[in-house]
Every structure is written in structure tokens, then in C-alpha cells.
Structure 1
Amino acid sequence: MATRPEFETELFEKGVAMRRDVLGAAHVDRSIAAVDDYNVPVQKLVTEWCWGEVWNRPGLERRTRSFLNLAMLIALNRPHEFRLHVRGALNNGITAEEIREVVLQAAIYCGVPAALDAMRNVTEILKEEGVIPK
């Protein structure tokens, strides 16, 4: 993967490592390969501050961060990021049953339409990942 001078910081490298651990190398490589001169600032911000700084803080375990992300992304109705973080949650050891419980909890506090959309996405990903039968 070609590097850009903007990405040659310790915090960026720390963020890339965390992103790879949680989201998988293939996703991170595609994401970084898609960077152009226009969107490089967003990629740098997300990688350094979200993944390099916050995800590496010692105050919460990765599992807890994944639980929180799933719930917040359901509440915010962000299905693209939600799907990505379902895979990350699985990588962080959260079970399909625990993910279902997050969706049920969100149904009460975020609304049934949000939960139905989330469950459709969860089911698709769990089937794609071979966690539940197709």
C-alpha cells in the first residue's frame, strides 16, 4: 500500500493497526486506497483520532467500545457504518446473541423501525460471515 506524506505519523500508524485488528485488513486497505487529494483530511482525522486516539484509550475494552458503537449507530441510523461495526464486533468477540440483544435494547430506546433495519443488516452480515446458516 502506497503511503502519503500526510499519513506518516505515529498516531496514524497506531490508528491503522487498530482499524486492521477490529475491521480487518481488507477493509482498511480498500479504504486507504480510495483516498484522493480531496478526501485525505477526513481519512487522516478518522484514522488518527477515532482509531489511533480513542479506540486505543485504556478506559474501555474493545468489546465495550463495539457494544457502544452498535447501539449508537442504530440510534443515528447509519447502516453503512453499522454493518462495518457488526463485523468489528464479531472480531472483538461479541457473539451473534449479544448483537441481537443490542438490537432489542435499541428497539425500545431508538424505535422499532431502527431496530428492524439493524436486524436486517445484522442477519445479512452474520450469514455472509458464516455465523448463522444462510
Structure 2
Amino acid sequence: MSDEALFEKGLPIRRAVLGADYVDASMARADDFMMAFQRATTSWAWGWAWGDPTLDRKTRSLLNLAMLTALGKPAELKLHVKGALTNGVSVEEIKAALLHATAYCGIPAGLEAFKAAHEVLVTEGALPAGETR
């Protein structure tokens, strides 16, 4: 499949998971230099990887949460927590994935992931604000 075909396949998937407003704004802000990245990520990550029917979107979201925890990428993790909610991942499943990743990646990586996820879950209304125990 050509890069153009993968781009066309990936764009609606990317919009569905991350939100059309976010994706369209990212594309609109891109100058010629950054558009190379926008096209690559849309084609390869979304058209090729997410477009493969072998794994469902919920499973892919859980994998992304674990990988982004391992990589220590809280900003990207926030984006994918929101996408995970869109893909039907429950708060309990997000917590379980982050705990599992913490066991393998270490406490510092897990803490960053939990803080990032918590911020998104509260903002999205999946968790009540100010809850303490």
C-alpha cells in the first residue's frame, strides 16, 4: 500500500481515536517541515499499525499506555488516555495497565504515568475532582 493510501486510511482512524479537533489543529499548524511528520505519523502509526485489523482499538490503546509509560512520555500518554476512553477502556482497565507497566518499568515511570492519566481522567469527568483516600 502506498504512503498516500496509508495516509487516507489512517486519517479517519486518527481522528476517531484522538479527536478530530486535535488532529485537524495539528495538521493546520504544520508548516511544510512539520507536515512531513504529520503525514508519516498518520500513514505509519494510524494507517499501517492502527489500521491493521488483527488487534482491536481497545487492545491497541492499552498497549500504547504501557509503551508510553515505559518510554517516560507523559504528554503523549495524556493524549492516549483520552483516546483509550474513546476506545472503551474503563478507568479500572487504565489503572491495571499502568500498574502492570509500573511493575516492569519502575516506580518513577509509573508515577509519571499515573499523574498524567489522573489529570486526563479528572478533566474528562471519568474521575471526580478532588477525590482523596
Aligned-residue RMSD, C-alpha: 1.2
For structure 2, list consecutive stretches of 5 or more residues without a partner in the other structure: none
2:106 corresponding residue in structure 1? 111
Equivalent in 56, 69, 72 of residue 74 of structure 1: 69
Q: Identity rate of aligned residues, in percent?
A: 50
- Aligned residue for 2:32, secondary structure, equals coil
2:23 corresponding residue in structure 1? 28
TM-score by length of structure 1 reads: 0.90
Matched, 1:100 2:95: yes
TM-score by length of structure 2 reads: 0.91
Any runs of at least 4 consecutive aligned residues in structure 1 with deviations exceeding 3 A, and if so which?
none
Counterpart AA for 1:90: L
Matches within 5 A, 1:1-134: 9-134=4-129
- Aligned residue for 1:81, secondary structure, equals helix
Q: Deviations over 1:68-102 (max 9, x none)?
A: 11000000011111111001110110001110111
For structure 1, list consecutive stretches of 5 or more residues without a partner in the other structure: 1-7
- Aligned residue for 2:53, secondary structure, equals coil
Q: How far apart are 1:10 and its partner, in Å? A: 3.2
Aligned pairs, number: 127
